[in-house]
Structure 1
Amino acid sequence: MIDHIGLSVADFEAARAFYDQALAPVGASFLMMVPPEFTGGVKVGGYGRERPVFWLHEGEKQTPPIHIAFTADSRADVDAFYAAAMAAGGTDNGAPGLRPYYHENYYGAFVRDPDGHNIEAVCHKPE
């Protein structure tokens, strides 16, 4: 249903360094930077697997923080996301584990990014 989403980050380079590391385990990477002549000089860049679907744009710290969940192919990928995000400077907001109150196979991990956004990786497949 959602084609793409973006969020404002106070420090684009810090956010990019965080997401470069955190999203690698779920198969996503930085795919493009929008030329500054199209953004009025504001840094705008997109992440995805085949095309940009998650966008960062330089600006004021977005409040309130938002929650974004990225699909992981396996529970091991969720674990790897959590470890990578924490190593990249994220703050724990829910260690990897089953959350059957959402769905019987809901396995997720939650980390706060440098701007305080609640970033999640989730796998819905049974082990």
Structure 2
Amino acid sequence: MIDHMGISARDFESSRRFYDAALTPLGVATMMEVHPEESGGYHGIGYGKDGKPFFWLSNDVHHVATDGARGTGIHIAFAAENRAAVDAYYAAAMAHGGRDNGPPGIRAHYHPTYYAAFVIDPDGFNVEAVCHAPE
């Protein structure tokens, strides 16, 4: 199952104004904002419903792998049942051509139990596995 997805904007503020306006008639609104000082450069706005962001708009920084390679600007996150599944996803992805974009671990700037791993796939997509459970 897809947990959430995101895109990277060339002009973040212009795209923000666009999505703020365009998504309102659909009942989709800003649920969360992650600021660069919280995350080492990533600026993201999570749009969603019922308190759960499922579409993220970000600046370019998030889509650069730890090896310096630029991704496509598209991010897809798959829901994992537990943290062990996130760890196994990361190991399998790295063993089959993935490039590290963030090893398994807590990302407290999203929420205290956000456990995820990020990999750039062979085509440059930023693909994540995430578990929201506390353990």
TM-score, normalisation: structure 1: 0.50
Greater relative contact order (Cα < 8 A, sep 6+):
1
